[in-house]
Amino acid sequence: SHRAPGVVGAACDSDCNVELICDGIHVHPSVIRTTFKMFGDDRIIMISDSMEATGLSDGEYSLGGQKVTVRGNLATLTEGGAIAGSATNLMNCLRYAVKTAGIPLASAVKCVTQNPARAIGLSEEYGSIESGKYASLVILDKELQIKAILKKGVKQNY
């Protein structure tokens, strides 16, 4: 009914985390900003809706047994053209949230690091840079391009 608050109202009135896909396909930038205003950066877990074609070239792929066409980061059903998802990784979602939606970098980083680690019970070991935690991190430049990756303190090739 139009008077019922629905899932957004229920989430707002609870203390649950909310997941937010910031890929430029699923959610408009103004909705991203509104979600951050409504829930704050303590309760948002930024996720991607990436499929197996993520990181691959444009073309035809399969998703759940259906043929999909990927162009850029948009995946559509080959038959009918309906949106099937995206081929966007979480790093690109973070970039979109910051550069397009205007979310502060520190807030966006928190939503892809600390919050998910806390939600799955790994915040004692992961999610932030602190003494006693694994030094797994991504080093970015001012344009949010990856400069280095460390996994448990060891520099990785990428």
Instruction: Determine whether 49 is an active site residue.
Output: yes
**What is the 3-state secondary structure of 75-95?**
EEECCCCCEEEECCCHHHHHH
Q: Report the 10 Å Cβ neighbour count for 50.
A: 20
CB 60 within 8 A of CB 69: yes
Q: Check 13, 23, 42, 49 and give the catalytic one.
A: 49
**Distance separating alpha carbons of residues 121 and 123, to the nearest angstrom:** 6
Rg (CA), the chain: 17
Active site residues: 49
